[in-house]
Chain A
Amino acid sequence: MATTNTTPLAKALSTRPRQRGLLRNITPASRFYWVRVLLANPMAVASGLTLLVIITAAAAAPLLTSHDPTFLNPGIRLQGLSGEHWLGTDGNGSDVFARIIYGARVSLLVGLSVMLFAAAAGALLGLISGYYQRFDTPIMRVMDGLMSFPSILLAIAIMASLGPSTTNVIIALTVVYIPSIARLVRGMTLVTKQQAYVESARAIGVRDHVILRRYIFANTLSPLIVQCTFVVAFAIISEASLSFLGAGVPPGTPTWGNMLREGQRFMQISWWLAVFPGSALFMLVLALNLFGDGLRDALDPRMRTR
């Protein structure tokens, strides 16, 4: 992996001339080898492109539709699909297509923020807990405690205390997903710190924070990145669930969860209100999961699925 490239042995190995015969097919470890593996996987490429399309659509929302997602026009409420309103209108006469692409912004914002914050906090806690014996028990017991709640229930309880808002959804879901990342990084740290190169680094007097950063954290990076794609997917589903339950993003904001909530209310007469935002949610989560699988196969060959 990336870090071993810096050791003299690895350098010697990677500059070694190409072998013939039996070793012919073994390519030298390259820093970006995983990119090639990823690009050779059609599922990963397809899901990556889907993600790119969704992100672009969310970013370029005003260019894709001339409708204001929060514009209320009761005169045209609950209209079916038409040339003017591609995916119909909702109970307030707002354009469903516009609400879906603006809703993608909220989903992506929540998903990515939760992932970043949870990864940062979880990795730090995991590193400390795995490296320093005396912090291990207190940190991990609190993580166990947090993991004792079904995740959506903990999120609901936190949201009940904080009150509905997008920021609070991010805070609540970050708390919910920190433990899984802390556990993962701690496990990797416990294994890595036993390795000879970490011991030798300590023996020659490399300082703790350097060891943690350059020798241990660098090695947990691959599984961490893979886990992160799944955290994004979980966080997006959880945000939609919270909003659907009325405990997430406040009702006026266009989010997929809010749209599904309304969709269920008008289910008897307007099927499109639930079907389209739900399908968008399904596609985004599916693309994230498939991309995560592809990343895992590329970054961590030992975990490769058959």
Chain B
Amino acid sequence: MLTYILRRLILLVPVIAIVGTIVFVLIHLTPGDPAAVMLGQDATAEQIERLRDGLGLNDPLYLQYLNWFAGAVRLDFGDSIFLGQPVTEALLARAQPTLLLTLYALTIQVLIGVPAGVIASVKHNSLLDRILMVLSISGAAIPSFFLGIMLILFFAVRLNWLPSGGFVSVFDNPIEHFKRMILPAFALGFTSAGLLARLVRSSMLDVLQEDYIRTARAKGLPQRVMVIRHALRNALIPAITVIGYSLGGLLGGAVVTETVFTIPGMGRLVVQSVARRDFPVIQGAILLIAAFYVLVNLLVDVLYVYIDPRVRYGND
């Protein structure tokens, strides 16, 4: 187990290096001179030249690459052009809403997706099964930002039950916090719940045909015990991978959802930075989120091996 984790950690190095290189290439594809952008329209050529020297933009490309990389490894992405504060500081200040929103959405995805999948598989081919599957296919087709707008229209504008957006820290006022987070979390989680429900259903259907389920049934085990203790435990193994990988989609979806619900998170900052052409913030944010995503995927794989030791031997 330990050697497996170690090997996976070592394999992480080239992936991170490639991710960093992709971001570096992206910045250098950008037309226009960053120094000119930073100084604005009235800057003289001399001022721009001095800033280019200061930023190291006149260095040869390989040196810029190395310097940039050395900074990125220390989570130093320079200063935001617009906010006038270090990028890392600006991002960390906005991490709480994004991470919590992703976490809540994941919870909603599991709370809806797993029971829906289990019920559909137990009632296989019944009307309920059909309805659940139509719902889950439709759920997967609704873009989360459209679902978000619909939820605001209904619950905030029409019924006036919940606020239409904004963010309150969970430490300041937990009740207000959840009142503001429930709609965005649902909008984000519902879309991936559909996918999870379909997966849980099909993997439950496989498991329910196994011999040990027939044995359990034959020895007179109550349906509920058989389904939850015997079938679900095994059916959840493939679901864990999907849940883990969907975290990346949820993190990306959070970018859009934050804009819909005006939540001051990392995603909204990225979107605002695109409009402001604040490139240090954009690259810092996507590197940070990608690194987080890669680490989570590693965690999922390790968890998977822990739960199902057969995988370890199958791996190359």
Contacts and interface: CB of A to CB of B under 8 A. Distances in A.
Interface string A250-285: 000000000010011001100100110010011001
A163 B95 CA distance: 27
A151 B252 contact: yes
A267 B157 contact: yes
B286 A153 contact: yes
A237 B277 CA distance: 24
Q: Which of B31, B252, B260, B285 has the most CB of A within 10 A?
A: B252
Given A146-B22, A148-B294, A156 B274 contact: yes
Contacts of A144: 15, 18
A158 B282 CA distance: 10
Interface stretch (B39-47, B75-83, B143-151, B220-228): B143-151
A306 B133 CA distance: 11
A161 B255 contact: no
Interface size range on A against B = 35 or more
Contacts, number: 144
B277 A282 contact: no
A263 B146 CA distance: 10
Nearest to A240: B143
Nearest to B275: A246
Contact of A149 (B30, B274, B275, B293): B293
A25 interface: no
B286 A237 contact: no
A293 B270 CA distance: 35
B57 interface: no
B213 interface: no
Nearest to A263: B149
A148 B23 CA distance: 12
Nearest to B254: A150
A306 B117 CA distance: 13
A153 B282 CA distance: 10
Nearest to A289: B141
Given A149-B286, A160-B279, A275 B150 contact: yes
Interface string B1-28: 0000000000000110011011100110
B146 A282 contact: yes
Contacts of A163: 31
B184 interface: no
Interface in B260-311: 260, 270-271, 273-275, 277, 279, 282-283, 285-286, 289-290, 293-294
Contacts of B259: 244-245
B169 interface: no
A241 interface: yes
A237 B143 CA distance: 6
B29 A162 contact: yes
Contacts of B143: 237, 240-241, 278, 281-282, 285
B270 A153 contact: yes
Nearest to A163: B31
Nearest to B30: A161
B137 to A, nearest CB: 6
B256 A145 contact: no
5 closest cross-chain pairs (CB), A and B: A150-B252, A145-B18, A286-B141, A278-B146, A152-B252
18 contacts: A142-B18, A142-B22, A144-B18, A145-B19, A148-B294, A149-B19, A153-B270, A156-B271, A161-B26, A162-B29, A247-B274, A260-B145, A263-B149, A271-B153, A275-B150, A275-B153, A278-B146, A286-B137
Given A156-B286, A274-B146, 8 more contacts: A145-B15, A145-B21, A145-B22, A150-B248, A150-B290, A241-B145, A245-B271, A290-B137
Interface of A: 141-142, 144-146, 148-154, 156-163, 233, 237, 240-241, 244-247, 260, 263-264, 267-268, 271, 274-275, 278, 281-282, 285-286, 289-290, 293, 305-306
